[in-house]
Structure 1
Amino acid sequence: MLVLGDAHAADPENRRALFAAYREADQDVTLQLGDLMYYDLPKPTWFIAGNNEDFDTISALRNGLVSNSEVRNANLLASTAVELEGLRIAGLSGNYAPTQYDRPRANLVGERRRHFTYEDIERATALESVDVLMTHEAPHGLPVSEDYEVGCQYIDDLLTVLDPDLCLIGHHHQHSETTIGTTRVVSLAPTWERYYILDPDSLSLTWVDMKEH
Structure 2
Amino acid sequence: MLVLGDAHASEPDRRETLLATYRTLEPSTVIQLGDLEHYDLPAPTWFVAGNNEDLDVIDALRAGETPSNVHNVTLFASSVAEIDGLRVGGLSGNYAPTKYGLPRDELVGERRRHFTREDVERAAALSEVDVFLTHEAPKGLLSYGYDPGCEHVNALLQAISPELCLVGHHHRHREAEIDGVRVVSLAPAWERTYTLDPDDLTLDSRPTSEGDPNGTAERSGP
Using the size of structure 1 for normalisation, the TM-score is: 0.96
RMSD of Structure 2 on Structure 1 (CA) = 1.1
1:45 maps to 2:45: yes
2:26 partner amino acid: D
1:24 maps to 2:24: yes
How far residue 24 of structure 1 moved from its aligned partner, in angstroms, is 2.5
Matches within 5 A, 1:45-124: 45-68=45-68, 70-124=69-123
Q: Judge conservation of contact 2:57–2:67 (CA < 8 Å) in 1.
A: no
Determine the structure 1 residue equivalent to 2:35: 35
Q: Judge conservation of contact 2:80–2:90 (CA < 8 Å) in 1.
A: yes
Partner SS state of residue 66, structure 1: coil
2:134 partner amino acid: T
Q: Distance in 2 between matches of 1:39 and 1:147?
A: 35
Q: Distance in 1 between matches of 2:23 and 2:175?
A: 26
Q: Deviations over 1:143-196 (max 9, x none)?
A: 3x5365311111010000100000000000001100113211000000000100
2:38 partner amino acid: Y
Aligned-residue identity in percent: 58
Q: How many residues align?
A: 211
Q: Which runs of 5+ in 1 are unaligned?
A: none
Determine the structure 1 residue equivalent to 2:193: 195
Q: Distance in 2 between matches of 1:148 and 1:97?
A: 17
Using the size of structure 2 for normalisation, the TM-score is: 0.92
Determine the structure 2 residue equivalent to 1:8: 8
Q: Distance in 1 between matches of 2:193 and 2:104?
A: 32
Determine the structure 2 residue equivalent to 1:209: 207
1:106 partner amino acid: D
